[in-house]
Amino acid sequence: MRMNRNRVVGLTAIVLAILIFSMLVVSHEFPILNSAETVKMETTEFLWTYRLIDMIAQAFVLFAAAACCVAILRAGEKE
Amino acid sequence: MIPLSYYIMGAIALYIVGMYCLAVKRNMIRLVIGIEILINAAHLNFIAFSAHRSPSFIDPLGHSIVIMSIVFAGCVTAVALTIVTYAYKHYGTLDVRKLRRLRW
Amino acid sequence: MFTKPLNTLLILMVTMPILGWVTYKKKYRKIRGLYAVLGLSVTAYFLYELYLEVSEKGNLRSCSLPFGACLDIDMLSIFMALIYVMIGLLAAAYSVKYMERDTGLTEYYTLLLGMVAGMMGVTFAGDFFTLFVFWELMSLTSYALVAFRKERWAPIEAGFKYLIMSAAGGATILLAMSFLYGMTGTLNFADIATGLGSVASNEWLFVTLTLIIVGFGVKAAIVPFHTWLPDAHPEAPAPISALLSGVLVPTGAYALIRVLLLVFGSIQSVWQMTLLVFAVLTMFVGNLMALLQDDIKRLLAFSTIAQMGYILFGFSIASQQGLTGSLFHIMNHAIMKSLLFLCAGAFVHQVGTRDLRKLEGIRQTMPVTSMLLAIGAVAIAAIPPLNGFWSEWMIVLAGIEAEMLPYSALMIINILLSVAYYLRLIYVIVLKEPTPVSKKATEVPLSMLIPIIILAALCIIIGVYPGPFVALAQQAANATLGL
C-alpha cells in the first residue's frame, strides 16, 4: 500500500474518530430497559397454534424458491 | 395514536409509488425494488389494522401474516434477481426497454 | 398435516433432489422422470379416495377458530384437483422423453411437482392467507419453469416479464386481503362472508373488488393484464406450456370465482356486470390476435386467452347452468389445450422450429401426431361430436336463459372467429405440400405419443358420452353455490 498524503490523513481521521466515540460511550451510561418480567412470545405462540398449516407451507415455499434459484443458476450444457 | 386513515393513505401512497416505479423505471433492478415496495404497502396496511382494532390490544393475526409475507417477498426477489443476472448476460445491459425482441 | 394427496406431492417435491443426487450417472437418469410419474399416479389414487370421502360427507373442513388457518375441501376443489393431477401426470410422462437433452432435470421435476402441489393447495384452501401461500408456491415454481432454458435469450425475457406482472398481481391480492382483514377481523372465507353481511355496501368494498379482479386477473389472463401470456407460453418447454395454459391460468379464474362468490355476495350484480364486460373484451382480443399469428405456440397462447374469455362469461352468469358450463369447459379446455401444446412440442422436438410456414404439410412425415393435432383442433373449435362443442353450447344456453341474449350472440361470433384459425392450423399441417424443413422430420418416439393418444381418446370419449362428466361438473357447481 502506497503511503501518500491522502491515505495518511484518512487513517488518522478514522483512528481519531474511533478513539473519541469509544470515550463517549464509556463515559455515558446506557439506559437499558430492565424489565422484571420475561419477554412474552405472543406472536410466536399464536403462529404455532393457529397458523401451523401456513408455516409448514411456508417452509415448502422456501424450499421451492431455493430450487428455483438452483434451476436457473445451474451449470448448463458443456457440449 | 395516529388516526387510522393516515395509515391507509400511507399504504395507498406506497402502492401508487410502487406501480409508478414498475411503469416508468428502466433499470431492471429498480423494477424488482418496485415489487418490494408494492408488497410493503400491504404489510403497512395489515399492521395498521391490527393495531387499531381496539384501543389497548394488538391483534396478533395481522402481525403473524406480515411475518410470513415478508418471507415470500424475499423469495420472489431472489428468483427475480437470478433472472436479471441471466438477462444481463444475454443482453449486456440492465435496461428493460432493450428487452423488446419478442413482439407480436 | 394437510390431506393425503397434498402431503404426497410435497414429500415427493422434497425427496426428488435426493433421488437426483443418487442417480447422477447417465444411464440412471430416466429414474427421475419415472419417479415423478409414479408419484403423481399415487397422488391420483389418494385424490380418488378423497373424492369418495367428500362426496358422502359434503365438505371437509378443518377450521377450528376464525383466526386459524384451515383447509376447506368441497366438490369444486376435488374437481379442479382431479384435472390438475391428470394433466400433471401426462405432462410428466411426456417430459421423460422430451427433456432428455436438457440439463438440470432434477430441478425440473422438483419444480413441476411443486407447481402441481401449489395448485392443489390453492383449491384446498379455506382461508385467504392459506390460498395466498399456495398461490406463491405455484407462482414461484412457474417463474423458474418458464425461464428454464436459460441459454437462449427468449425464455429469460419472457420469464422476467411474466415475473414482474405476476408478482405485481400477487401484491395487489395481498393489499385486497389487508382491506378485507380490516373490515372483518378475520381471513377465513366463511367468516368474512358473515362479517361483510353486516357491513353496509360502502366504497371500500368496491375498492377491494377492483383490487381482487386486477390481482387474480393477471394470472387468469383477463384482457388488459394478459400481456405476459403470449410471450411466456411459447418460450416455456412444451409440457410446461401445456401445464401453464391448461391448468395454471384456469386456477386464476377458479380463485377469482371462489372469492367473488363467497365474499362479495352483497354486491353480486356489480361484479357480474364487470366480469361480463371483461369476458367479452378478453374473447375478442384473444381471437382477433390469434388470427394474425405465424408461430404455432403463440397462436395456441392467444387461443387460451379467448377460451378464458368464454369461461369468465360462464362465471359471470353465476347461475347453476353457467357455472356448470364453465367448470365443464375448464376440464375440456385443459384436455384439448394440453393435447395441442404437446403435439406442437412434438413438432418442435423433431424439427426445431415453431414457424407455421416452415411446418407445412408435416403430415407426410409425422402422420400420427398430425392426426392427433387435427382431433384436438376440431375439438377446440366446437365442432359437434367432440367435447368442446358440449361445454361451449352449455355456456351459450346459460347466457340465453339468464336473459343475456346479446352477450351470447357475441360469444357465438367469437366461436366462429376461432373456427377460422383452428381450421387454418389443420389446413397448414395436414393438407399443404411439405416444405424442405418438414420433410426431414421423423415420427416421435412412443413414450411421447402415449400421453397425446390418451388425451385425444379422452376428447372423443367425453364428446360422445358427456353424461358422467357433466354430472361431476354439476356437483361441483352446486357445492360452490351452496345448494
pLDDT digits (tens, 9 = 90+) for C379-391: 999 888 888 899 9
Contact B102 C154 (CB under 8 A): yes
Distance CA B15, CA C346 (A): 44
DSSP for C178-205, written as a single string: HHHHHHHS--BHHHHHHHHHHS---HHH
pLDDT digits (tens, 9 = 90+) for C142-167: 999 999 998 888 999 999 999 999 99
Judging by DSSP bridges, how do beta strands C60-61 and C72-73 pair with one another?
antiparallel
Which H or E run includes C60?
A: strand C60-61
DSSP for C91-150, written as a single string: HHHHHHHHTTT-S-HHHHHHHHHHHHHHHHHHHHB-BHHHHHHHHHHHHHHHHHHHT--T
Contact A60 C117 (CB under 8 A): yes
Nearest chain C residue (CA) to B52: C182
Percent of chain C with pLDDT over 70: 98
Distance CA C250, CA C305 (A): 10
Q: Is C178 on the interface with B (CB under 8 A)?
A: yes
Q: Is C140 on the interface with B (CB under 8 A)?
A: yes
Quote the mean pLDDT of chain C.
Answer: 90
Distance CA C387, CA C460 (A): 7
CA dihedral of C276, C178, B72, C39, whole degrees rounded to 10: -50
Q: Which amino acid is at C60?
A: L
Cα separation values, C104 from A75, C99, C163, C184, C235, Å: 8, 10, 21, 46, 17
Q: Which residue has the cell 381496539?
A: B54
Predicted pLDDT at B7: 92
Lowest mean pLDDT among A35-39, B77-81, C96-100, C389-393: A35-39
Contact A68 B63 (CB under 8 A): no
**Three-state secondary-structure class, residue A79:** coil
Cα R_g (chain C), whole angstroms: 21
Q: Is A48 on the interface with B (CB under 8 A)?
A: no
The mean per-residue pLDDT over the stretch C457-483 comes to 89
**Three-state secondary-structure class, residue C313:** helix
pLDDT digits (tens, 9 = 90+) for C263-304: 888 788 889 999 999 999 999 999 999 998 888 999 999 999
Contact C140 A68 (CB under 8 A): yes
Name the region of C146 (left: φ>0; alpha: ψ -120 to 50; beta: rest): alpha
What's the CA angle centered on C309, arms C306 and C315, to 5 degrees? Answer: 155
Q: Which amino acid is at C400?
A: I
Predicted pLDDT at A35: 64
Predicted pLDDT at C200: 65
Nearest CA-CA distance, residue A79 and chain B, Å:
19
Nearest chain C residue (CA) to A56: C1
Q: In the B/C pair of chains, how many CB contacts fall below 8 A?
A: 105
Contact C111 A68 (CB under 8 A): yes
Nearest CA-CA distance, residue A41 and chain C, Å:
18
Contact C153 B104 (CB under 8 A): no
Q: Is B14 on the interface with C (CB under 8 A)?
A: no
Contacting residues for C434 by C-beta, under 8 A, at least 6 apart: C360, C361, C362, C364, C365
Contacts of C150 in chain B (CB under 8 A): 86
Predicted pLDDT at A77: 66
Give the residue, C403 or B74, on which the prediction is more confident: B74
Closest Cβ–Cβ partner in B64, B82, B86 for A51: B64
Cα separation values, C465 from B55, C59, C378, C398, C460, Å: 62, 28, 17, 21, 8
Q: What DSSP designation does C434 have?
A: P
Percent of chain B with pLDDT over 90: 64
Burial class, C178, CB count within 10 angstroms (exposed 0-12 / middle 13-18 / buried 19+): buried
Cell triple for C277: 364486460
Which H or E run includes C472?
A: helix C467-481
Substitution target in C174, C192, C285, C293 with the highest count of B β-carbons within 10 Å is C174
pLDDT digits (tens, 9 = 90+) for C218-245: 999 998 999 999 999 999 999 999 999 9
Predicted pLDDT at C150: 87
Q: Residue C124 pLDDT more than 70? A: yes
Distance CA C272, CA C407 (A): 13
Predicted pLDDT at B74: 96
Distance CA C69, CA C87 (A): 28
Nearest CA-CA distance, residue C160 and chain B, Å:
6
Distance CA C47, CA B49 (A): 39
Cell triple for B25: 423505471
How many other CB atoms are found less than 10 A from the CB of residue C467?
A: 8
Q: Residue C86 pLDDT more than 80? A: yes
Nearest CA-CA distance, residue C223 and chain B, Å:
15
Lowest mean pLDDT among B34-48, C74-88, C197-211, C326-340: C197-211
Closest Cβ–Cβ partner in B61, B75, B82 for A72: B82
Name the band, by pLDDT with cuts 50, 70 and 90, for residue C120: very high
Name the region of C59 (left: φ>0; alpha: ψ -120 to 50; beta: rest): beta
Q: Are C302 and C293 in contact (CB under 8 A)?
A: yes
Nearest 5°: phi and psi at C151?
A: -70, -25
Name the band, by pLDDT with cuts 50, 70 and 90, for residue C435: confident
Give Cα C295 distance to the centre of its chain. 21
Predicted pLDDT at C88: 95
Which of these, C231, C459, C450, C229, lies nearest to C346 by C-alpha position?
Answer: C450
Which of these, C157, C58, C154, C71, lies nearest to C120 by C-alpha position?
Answer: C71
Buried b vs exposed e over B21-56: b needs ≥16 C-beta within 10 Å?
A: bbeeeeebeebbbbbbbbbbbbbbbbbbbbbbeeee
Distance CA C384, CA C21 (A): 50
Query: Which residues in C336-451 belong to E strands, given as ranges?
Result: none
Q: Residue B53 pLDDT more than 80? A: yes
Contact A50 C104 (CB under 8 A): no
Subunits with 3+ Cβ pairs within 8 Å of A are B, C
Q: Is C161 on the interface with B (CB under 8 A)?
A: yes
Q: Are B14 and B40 in contact (CB under 8 A)?
A: yes
Contact C187 B69 (CB under 8 A): no
CA-CA-CA-CA torsion sign (C21, C27, C28, C33) = positive
Q: Are C264 and C272 in contact (CB under 8 A)?
A: no
CA-CA-CA-CA torsion sign (B84, B89, B90, B95) = positive
pLDDT in tens, chain A (79 residues): 677 888 889 899 999 999 999 998 888 887 777 665 556 667 777 788 888 888 999 999 999 999 999 999 987 766 4
Nearest CA-CA distance, residue C185 and chain B, Å:
8
Q: Is C10 on the interface with A (CB under 8 A)?
A: yes
Burial class, A10, CB count within 10 angstroms (exposed 0-12 / middle 13-18 / buried 19+): exposed
Contacts of C133 in chain A (CB under 8 A): 54, 57-58, 61
Q: Are C105 and C224 in contact (CB under 8 A)?
A: no
Name the band, by pLDDT with cuts 50, 70 and 90, for residue C190: confident
Which of these, C22, C8, C29, lies nearest to C113 by C-alpha position?
Answer: C8
Cell triple for C351: 424439427
Q: Is C133 on the interface with A (CB under 8 A)?
A: yes
Contacting residues for C150 by C-beta, under 8 A, at least 6 apart: A72, A76, B86, C156
Which of these, C145, C233, C151, lies nearest to B87 by C-alpha position?
Answer: C151
Nearest chain A residue (CA) to B81: A69
Q: Is A59 on the interface with C (CB under 8 A)?
A: no
Distance CA C335, CA C328 (A): 11
pLDDT digits (tens, 9 = 90+) for C316-370: 988 888 999 999 999 999 999 999 999 999 999 988 888 888 888 888 888 899 9
